[in-house]
Structure 1
Amino acid sequence: MTAITVPRPRRSRRRPGDNRWTAGWIVRRLPYWFVALFLAGAAFLWIYPFLWMVSASLKDQMEVFASGLGLLPDNPIWENYQRAWTEASFGKYLMNTVIVTVVTVVLVVVRCAMAGYVLARYSFAGRKVVLGVLIATLFVPTGYTIIPVVEVSQRLGLLNSLTGMILALSGGAHVASILLYLGYFRQLPRELEEAAIVDGAGFLSLFFRVMMPMAIPVTATVTLMTFLATWNAFFLPLVFTFSRPDLRTLSVGMLAFVGENSIDWSGMAAAAVISLLPVVLLFVLLQRYFVEGIAGAVKQ
């Protein structure tokens, strides 16, 4: 009599904690072209508002509304950029913005780097209190601080000047930048400082010649963050230029296209493109350092 062998059911090889069925595993097994097509569509939807703004900057006032979501202008009108640059004084506004942004970035980088270095490498009484106060300022809205900032600037005679605007923009807590430097400097080995001190380096020499060159990724990250925040700042520059329209920045200068009864949408779109080009260019140049700075600061 022949024995009949019954095949045993195959046992699942999936172990507890196996992440085989996660989204990453599923994506890796999809066709390459499908993933590329999906990501291309998502990227297009992401940048579509910017593309529409560029398209609107080349249309006339009626075509902006008549074309709807279309991106190709019938007859590109490059005079919109000339009108925004000359008639709306965006050349002057651009120069003001560059001055304010560059000086603010330098002040914020140096101040936040020193604060982060001291908090990361030195132990002193009240250190935890300082950290707690810095973190608490993250929950204070900007509108609550504008009144004392304006009052102090007025008493110092800096209210209607680029100097006062720079001090107001760079004098904030900038807690995120300080914490980025703190996390980065904390993970550096102590031997670096000890070797520099043996060679006779003081605090400033140790900081600027040893620590800051090693913190280039974080510096690039803080530079980009501060540049974006300052370049796009509206509230403080608006208050500081109420009586001095010639000191307006690009973001405040957008008000020049808003009239009592109408809005020059094509001119505003052209001005917006002009103001965004430096931001896009800087991000393209510093994006690698931006990612490295974030990753290095949070790695413990």
Structure 2
Amino acid sequence: MPTKRRRWLGGAMHTLLIGLAIIWIYPFVWMIFSSLKTNTEYMNAGFKLLPEVPRWENYGRAWNVGQFSVYFSNSIIITCTTVVIVIAMCALTGYALGRVRFPGRNWFVAAITATMFIPKGYTIIPIYQIIKSLGLLNTLPGIILAESSGAHVLFILLFMTYFFNLPKELEEASEIDGCGFFRTFVQVMLPLAKPIVATTAIMQFIWTWNSFFVPLIFSINKPEIRTLAVGMYAFVGEHTVDWSGMAAGAAISLLPVIVVFIVFQRFFIEGISGSVKG
């Protein structure tokens, strides 16, 4: 292909991708600017982005009047604890499936993989009954257990593939040094799986932080333990909706997700590429 034609195609492709990126990011930018408008301006602005006068007090109203300070703390506690539990469970399961040969291993992998096709709504009733029997309804521990429950098949398969491709000599060397199965996992194998740990942490953080259905079910009778996603209801009145306050609340709720992804994106890319390569 001639150099000029190749450059022209490259420029056209970049222009197309830039246009698609603008279309993709426009709703997010529109939400940020809408959080600085009045409700009247919000309703009449159409595609107009810039507010006439920035209303920074919308963020104060969302944080204090909308009780987002409480919901933010709840979301941090629930999300971080859930991420730790999910990483521990999936790493141990993936390590056992990837490194230990036992009868029925392939059937077990097929069984947990099949659970990916079960909708969340079908499992909420037994989860609700279990949490109720434990006396954890309308509590933060109850929401945490409900969020961390399930097979988390994607993460298990990522860990399993990663551990399966690690050299066997690592385990043999640790056994010579007197390490048992669990100590080998914690001190030798798990540190090598940092990219998969980061991938799991980022994806589970995003899913739990944005989760709506489970926190709604388990905090319906106790508003003070709601998460940010459920707390959006604070802006919906019987006859009116505080749209600008809701936009400010949405901007607040997105900030931790963006920060987490920016900080761990390198490990996330390494984890995905490493698992695919394996």
Normalising by the smaller structure, the TM-score range is: over 0.9
Matched residue type, 1:155: S
1:174-185 pair list within 5 angstroms:
174-185=152-163
> Offset of 1:31 from its aligned partner?
6.2
Share of identical aligned residues, percent? Answer: 51
Tell me how far apart the structure 1 counterparts of residues 123 and 60 of structure 2 sit (CA, whole Å).
38
Matched residue type, 1:115: T
Tell me how far apart the structure 2 counterparts of residues 183 and 195 of structure 1 sit (CA, whole Å).
21
Matched residue type, 1:218: I
User: Are 1:42 and 2:20 counterparts?
Assistant: yes
Distance 1:199 1:49, change over 3 A: same
1:65-214 pair list within 5 angstroms:
65-214=43-192
Distance 1:137 1:26, change over 3 A: farther
The aligned counterpart of 1:267 is 245
Tell me how far apart the structure 2 counterparts of residues 283 and 42 of structure 1 sit (CA, whole Å).
21
1:180–1:218 contact (8 Å) kept in structure 2? yes
Tell me how far apart the structure 2 counterparts of residues 42 and 235 of structure 1 sit (CA, whole Å).
31
> Offset of 1:38 from its aligned partner?
3.2
1:184–1:298 contact (8 Å) kept in structure 2? no
Tell me how far apart the structure 2 counterparts of residues 188 and 30 of structure 1 sit (CA, whole Å).
45
The aligned counterpart of 2:41 is 63
CA deviation string 1:205-241 (max 9, x = no partner) = 1111111110011111000010011001111100111
Tell me how far apart the structure 2 counterparts of residues 146 and 246 of structure 1 sit (CA, whole Å).
22
Distance 1:37 1:289, change over 3 A: same
> Offset of 1:28 from its aligned partner?
4.8
Tell me how far apart the structure 2 counterparts of residues 249 and 262 of structure 1 sit (CA, whole Å).
22
Matched residue type, 2:205: F
The aligned counterpart of 1:8 is none
> Offset of 1:128 from its aligned partner?
1.5
Distance 1:191 1:50, change over 3 A: same
CA deviation string 1:136-189 (max 9, x = no partner) = 100100000111111111111001100011111112110000001011111111
CA deviation string 1:248-270 (max 9, x = no partner) = 00000001111121211100000
1:27–1:35 contact (8 Å) kept in structure 2? no
Unaligned runs of 5+ in 1: 1-19
Matched residue type, 1:277: L
The aligned counterpart of 2:8 is 30
> Offset of 1:202 from its aligned partner?
1.1
1:96–1:247 contact (8 Å) kept in structure 2? yes
Tell me how far apart the structure 2 counterparts of residues 207 and 75 of structure 1 sit (CA, whole Å).
57
Matched residue type, 1:84: A
Matched residue type, 1:67: A
Unaligned runs of 5+ in 2: none
User: Are 1:219 and 2:216 counterparts?
Assistant: no
Following TM superposition, the consecutive aligned residue runs of length 4 or more in structure 1 with deviations greater than 6 angstroms are: none
Root-mean-square deviation (Å)? 1.8
Tell me how far apart the structure 1 counterparts of residues 166 and 6 of structure 2 sit (CA, whole Å).
36
Distance 1:128 1:33, change over 3 A: closer
Distance 1:291 1:27, change over 3 A: farther
The aligned counterpart of 1:233 is 211
> Offset of 1:41 from its aligned partner?
2.2
- Secondary structure, counterpart of 1:158 in structure 2: coil
CA deviation string 1:21-51 (max 9, x = no partner) = xxxx999543665444333222211111100
Larger Rg, first or second structure (1 or 2): 1
Tell me how far apart the structure 2 counterparts of residues 209 and 224 of structure 1 sit (CA, whole Å).
22
User: Are 1:278 and 2:251 counterparts?
Assistant: no
Matched residue type, 2:118: V
Tell me how far apart the structure 2 counterparts of residues 258 and 27 of structure 1 sit (CA, whole Å).
55
Tell me how far apart the structure 1 counterparts of residues 224 and 5 of structure 2 sit (CA, whole Å).
54
